[in-house]
Amino acid sequence: MLLSQHGKLLVKAIDSNLRPTSWIPVRLLASFAQTDSSFFTPRVNKQRLWEDIHHSCQWGKGERWGKGETDTGMSRLSLSDSDRMARNWFEETTRSLGCTTCIDAMGNTFATRKGRQQGPPTCAGSHLDTQPTGGRYDGILGVCAGIEMLRVLQDEKIESEYPIGVINWTNEEGARFPISMVASGVWAGRIALERAHAIREVGGGKQTMRQELERIGYLGDMEASYKAMPIGAHFELHIEQGPRLEAKNQKIGIVQGVQAYRWHTITVKGRDCHTGTTDFANRSDAMLTAAKMILHSHRLAAKCASLASTGILTLTPGSTNTVPGTVCFSLDIRAGEDGRLMRLEEDLRADFGKIARNEAVDDLNDARTIGKGCTVEWSLDAPSEAIKFDKDCIACVTDSAKEIFGTEFENRTQEMTSGAGHDSVFTSYRVPTAMIFVPCKDGVSHNPVEYCSPEDCAYGAQVLLGAVLRYDKLRAEKSK
């Protein structure tokens, strides 16, 4: 049984909070008794969480999309003045909730609340920076739910076994300084500090990350490293940024890991020639060949539940009446498992070669389109292996969701793989990590209209709190 500082059973705190006005449907009350009866999580406050989210969104307001007070997007680029204001609020608020805060050389801010025993904190973390045309929930929800967790712990006077922390990671979006998740990457020892400090802002500015960290007062004294600032575990609540939860009217995604991806640049070389005087049979049409490859990557990926996308395409010489001799395009392929991704890549490499040489691949090189052939070259730009999150952390998330949904658990939750990268990818290299997803309207994110309802924000924060407290308890049991 979880006890508060004064020995009060926490089940009491739940009873007192489970008024008909509280956000947990009263009909679910009965189900609490059916789950792990030795663990009760105090309730988060839906309204207070909602107010924190939108209070923090006063800094860096973006495009207006509706008439309501909170109907604006966010444009809070990393290390801007508005980011500084949001960071100041994060520090002040967590300190007022009994935390000590420290800032590392990447501006990552760690707020830590004491536990009964010494040790690295079990953390909830996410980010307060946004895309230039971002929304109010991507990252912000995760940090604010961490703050709500601290508020509940303070209100209920809960003494955790080990310290509990909340982290604001710097420049997760990579929108202003173009490496995503760069600061958690430095913390994890996967990206060199010097390289990160030297990143220059996009969009014509000249400032580097280090200069901007210094300017806004967030170039911390502490080394940016999991060795200097060890944590016990990392839990991240995030909006799904996709449509799968909403489509099934589900509330919680129990994230098992992050899919693997490999980014390539493909170069197709043919021969420039006159569009009017060269018949198809005598062309080496690099653009037509690239188009067949892009279509084929889509078809093959679809066959093996993977993804393939082209976002950049350049061709030369770029003239209406010249068949282009050279085309470069990006190819981003993704899959839930490394093996599946590599098989897809091997098949694509073999088939792109055939397409270029005018050999048969499906209907792509039927007689009417055959020309003289091209060459194709691949260059790997960025590989990222599939991430599997920690079993214990996932179990804590699962049990926390079971406590809330009871017999409705199967209907209300879904095991998922994250399609996007998050700071949790880097923390998972060093500490047990898991993520929790909540639905967002129409699956829309990185857009001002991004929306997660107050109820869904609270469900996510509730699962986060329950997972962190369970993991804290698990750590104590394991150390016995």
Measured distance CA(461)–CA(362) in Å, rounded: 49
Q: How many CA atoms lie within 13 A of 34 on its CB side?
A: 12
What span, in angstroms and rounded, lies between the C-alpha atoms of 437 and 333? 23
Mapped onto helix, strand or coil, the DSSP state of residue 270 is coil
Bridge partner list, 428: none
Question: Could you give phi then psi for residue 32, rounded to 5 degrees?
Answer: -55, -40
Find the shortest distance in angstroms from Cβ 435 to Zn ion. 10
Query: Cβ closer to Zn ion: 257 or 371?
Result: 257
Nearest distance from residue 2's CB to Zn ion, in Å? 31
What is the identity of the amino acid at 379?
S
State the nearest-atom distance from the C-beta of 143 to Zn ion, in Å: 10
In the complex, least distance from residue 386 CB atom to Zn ion, rounded to whole angstroms: 19
Residue 83 or residue 138: which is nearer to Zn ion going by CB? 138
Secondary structure (3-state) at 103: strand
Choose between 291 and 435: whose C-beta lies nearer to Zn ion: 435
Residue 24's CB: how many other CB atoms inside 10 A? 21
Residue 171 or 400 having the CB closest to Zn ion: 171
176 class by beta-carbon count within 10 Å (0-12 exposed, 13-18 middle, 19+ buried): buried
Is 238 or 296 the residue whose CB approaches Zn ion more closely?
Answer: 238
**Residue 234 is inside which H or E element, if any?**
strand 233-239
Q: Would you call 203 exposed, middle or buried from its count of C-beta atoms within 10 A (0-12, 13-18, 19+)?
A: exposed
The single residue listed with the structure tokens 């490394």 is 338
Q: CB nearer to Zn ion: give 139 or 270.
A: 139
Tell me how far apart the alpha carbons of residues 74 and 138 are, in angstroms, rounded to a whole number: 10
| Nearest-angstrom CA–CA distance, 33 and 15 | 13
Min separation Cβ 135 and Zn ion, Å: 10
Peptide bond into 324 cis (omega under 30): no
Answer yes or no: are the C-beta atoms of 456 and 73 closer than 8 Å: no
- The smaller minimum CB distance to Zn ion, of residues 43 and 136, is found at 136
In angstroms, how far is the first alpha carbon of the chain from the final one?
Answer: 17
Beta bridge mates, 112? 100, 165
Strand pairing class (260-269; 375-384): antiparallel
Q: How far is the CB of 172 from Zn ion (least distance, A)?
A: 6
Report, in Å, the least distance between residue 196 CB and Zn ion.
Answer: 18
Shortest Å distance, C-beta 443 to Zn ion: 14
| CB 315 to Zn ion: min, Å | 34
CA contacts within 13 A on the Cβ side of 240? 27
What's the rounded Cα separation, in Å, for the pair 208 and 201? 6
Q: Which is nearer to Zn ion, 371 or 421 (CB)?
A: 421
DSSP letter, residue 26: G
Contact 384, 418 (CB under 8 A): no
Q: Which residue is nearest to Zn ion (CB)?
A: 139
We find the least distance from the C-beta atom of residue 448 to Zn ion, in angstroms, to be: 15
Residue 267 or 424 having the CB closest to Zn ion: 424
Work out how close the CB of 243 gets to Zn ion at its nearest, in angstroms, rounded to a whole number: 17
Q: Which residues bind Zn ion (CB under 5 A)?
A: 138-139
Residue closer to Zn ion (CB basis): 138 or 399: 138
In the block, which residue shows the tokens 């693997």?
260
C-alpha torsion angle, residues 131, 133, 135, 136 (rounded to 10): 80
CB-wise, 161 or 236, nearer to Zn ion? 236
CB nearer Zn ion, residue 42 or residue 242:
242
Taking the complex as a whole, how short is the minimal distance between the CB of residue 309 and Zn ion, in angstroms? 19
Whole-angstrom distance, CA of residue 124 vs CA of residue 235: 5
